[in-house]
Amino acid sequence: MGTYVFKLPDIGEGVVEGEITAWHVAVGDTVSEDQPMVDIMTDKATVGIAATNDGVVTKLHGQIGDMIAVGGPLIEFEIDGEGNATEAEPEPEPVAEPEPEPEPEPVAEPTPAPAPAAAPAPAPAPVVSSGGRVLASPVVRRRATEAGIDLSLVPGGGPAGRVRNADLDAYIASGGAMRAPAASTGVARTGTSEHPVVGLRRKIAEKMVESKTRIPHFSYFEEIDVTELEALRQHLNATKGPDQPKLTYLPFIMLALTKAMPNHPECNAIYDEEGGKVIRHEAVHLGIATATDRGLFVPVVKNVEAMDVWGAAAEMQRVSGACRDGTATMEDLAGSTFTITSLGRDGGLGATPIINHPEVGILGVHKARDMPVVLNGQVTVRRIMNVSSSWDHRVVDGADGAALVQSLKRLLEHPALIFM
């Protein structure tokens, strides 16, 4: 029998370390080749690491949330044969803490003799209480006690519900028919729970802080009449083939952006801060912000300019679905030049989306709704969708960001232009 040390393999270009987000094996488990063992998160994606050999797990290097360098030991196995373990430097012996000096034995104090019991006081008239402390003067309390009345049942007409003599008189005159408002049955909550910020949640936090602190954002809002686009969308969905995906607004927005970007190249760009330059892209690689049970991912639909509406919809569904089911690759999550974020039915009226660093712009899409509008001097119902955008003011001037959104508005309000 020998010891086999499994080291974190190279899991992507430029990746030098990864964070442990989940263990699928424990010490003592028998593992077979290709069995999933651990999930490692990098800057790009979460990667499942499988076993390359059979053996029994004898040691796990790291806990959830720990960072492991590429090439560093990850798992140790006991295997048939000699294994690959070499003589390593012995781990430093833990420094023994000095034993604390024994505390002196507590000296028992004599127990005082019990005091003689006092004579029991006469019991007051029985009053059944149904609530908490009632606001009332001592005079009112004495009268209520003498009459055997529970003050909590008397509606108080004074400040903060204080029961006055007049309130008590009215209660007695009614024969107890009056009732105070029922006390609240709500229970105060006091519990807390702790949730370690590890894995994807940590990466999202780091990314948002980096973007918001390094990029001077400005935002721009607009509303778009998508009545004609909605008619086109419904017609295409009603006549689509069995292998074609159902169309939402996003594929049309994606194509409209590819149509508009050549006239606004400063918006389809990456800001290289270290190199002190802006890299403008001819290709439009659109990041699609995707909410999953594990957090927010931004998969990328590449070269949207080369797609038709069906191809854009299919690829968007593929990469978004891969994020939701955990099969997205690093290639699926890298290389975006501009990002779209949409909350769908929960889209609200507006937002100030945070730019996906190092891009220079992001578009937020909100829920479309029927609204009364004035058209040709007449009030009519049109389908209106709001959009929000944020821009890197170091690179994109206010007029430039506004011009891109206005170009998008023109294309979506006259959707035939998207395909011309």
30 lies in which domain range?
2-79
Query: Based on the domain organization, do 256 and 395 belong to the same domain?
Result: yes
What's the CA gap between 136 and 143, in Å, rounded? 11
pLDDT digits (tens, 9 = 90+) for 385-396: 999 999 999 999
User: What pLDDT does residue 144 have?
Assistant: 87
The C-alpha atoms of residue 32 and residue 219 are separated, in whole angstroms, by 53
Banded model confidence at residue 276, pLDDT cuts 50, 70, 90? very high
Confidence band of 86 (pLDDT split at 50, 70, 90): low
- How confident is the model at residue 357, as a pLDDT? 95
- pLDDT at site 181: 57
Active site residue 61: no
> Is the per-residue pLDDT at 112 higher than 50?
no
Q: What is the mean pLDDT of residues 39-48?
A: 78
Percent of the chain with pLDDT over 90: 53
Indicate whether 274 and 334 sit together in one domain.
yes
Residues 238 and 342 occupy one common structural domain: yes
Clarify whether 272 is annotated catalytic: no
The answer on pLDDT for 184 being more than 50 is: yes
Whether residue 320 is predicted with pLDDT greater than 60 in this model: the reply is: yes
154 plus 286 within the same structural domain? no
The reported pLDDT for the residue numbered 122 is 44
- How far is residue 271's CA from residue 337's CA, in Å, rounded to a whole number? 10
DSSP, residue by residue, 216-252: -EEEEEEEEE-HHHHHHHHHHHHH--TTSPPP-HHHH
**Neighbour-count burial for 311-321, b at 16+ CB within 10 Å, e otherwise:** bbbbbbbebbe
* Maximum average pLDDT range among 89-98, 112-121, 394-403: 394-403
- Whether 336 and 237 map to the same domain: the answer is yes
* Residues 312, 385 within the same domain: yes
Q: Which of the residues 80, 272, 308, 397 is marked catalytic?
A: 397
Q: What is the pTM of this model?
A: 0.66
- 87 domain-assigned: no
Nearest CA among 289, 295, 290, 292 for reference residue 338: 289
Q: Give CA separation, 403 vs 26, 267, 287, 396, 411, in Å.
A: 57, 10, 21, 11, 12
Residue pointed to by tokens 């105070």: 180
**Residue 203 banded pLDDT, cuts 50, 70, 90:** confident
Q: Please count the CA atoms within 13 angstroms of the CA of 381 that sit on its side-chain side.
A: 3
**Over residues 247-272, mean pLDDT:** 97
Average pLDDT over residues 307-315: 97
- Could you say which of 308, 393, 400, 414 is catalytic? 393
- Both 39 and 169 in one domain: the answer is no
Average pLDDT value for residue range 205-230: 95
CA angle 313, 315, 317 (to 5 degrees): 70
Residues 328 and 398 in one domain: yes
Nearest to 126 by CA among 100, 96, 147: 147
Domain boundary pick from 173, 197, 232: 173
| pLDDT computed for residue 215 by the predictor | 96
CATH number at residue 157: 4.10.320.10
Count of domains for the chain: 3
Mean pLDDT over all residues of the chain?
Answer: 85
pLDDT confidence bin for 124, thresholds 50/70/90? very low
Taking 50 as the threshold, does the pLDDT of residue 95 lie above it? no
Report which secondary-structure segment, H or E, holds 279. strand 277-280
Residue 1 CA to residue 289 CA, distance in Å, equals 50
124 or 269: which leads in pLDDT: 269
Q: Sort residue 126 into left (φ over 0), alpha (ψ -120 to 50) or beta.
A: beta
Check: CB of residue 210 under 8 Å from CB of residue 392. no
Say if 298 falls within a structural domain: yes
